Amino acid sequence: MSAHCQLTGAKPGFGNTISHSHRRTSRRFDPNVQRKHYWLPSEGRHVRLTLSARAIRTVDTIGIEAAVARIRARGGKV
């Protein structure tokens, strides 16, 4: 599963793990992405979205119709 949020565009950040001896190795900071199913009443079907935890709260606030409109406005496929 790609660590990329369809609504917010959150994607992995990169940095370093610093050990006790201060040696640095690269690492990845992945966003907390989940696959969620939502019922989309305007189209009469279910949609499956890959969303970050923050985006799931956003969908709860603005509604699935507005969220899908935002995803499509960003050029995403639903």
Q: What is the DSSP string of 13-54?
A: EEEEEE-TT--EEEEEE---EEEEEEEETTTTEEEEEEEEHH
Segment 52-73 mean pLDDT = 97
Q: Is the pLDDT of residue 63 over 60?
A: yes
Segment 15-41 mean pLDDT = 97
Cβ–Cβ under 8 Å, residues 31 and 6: no
Evaluated on CA atoms 32, 37, 38, 44, the torsion sign reads positive
Q: Is the pLDDT of residue 32 over 60?
A: yes
Q: Is the pLDDT of residue 37 over 60?
A: yes
Cβ–Cβ under 8 Å, residues 49 and 71: yes
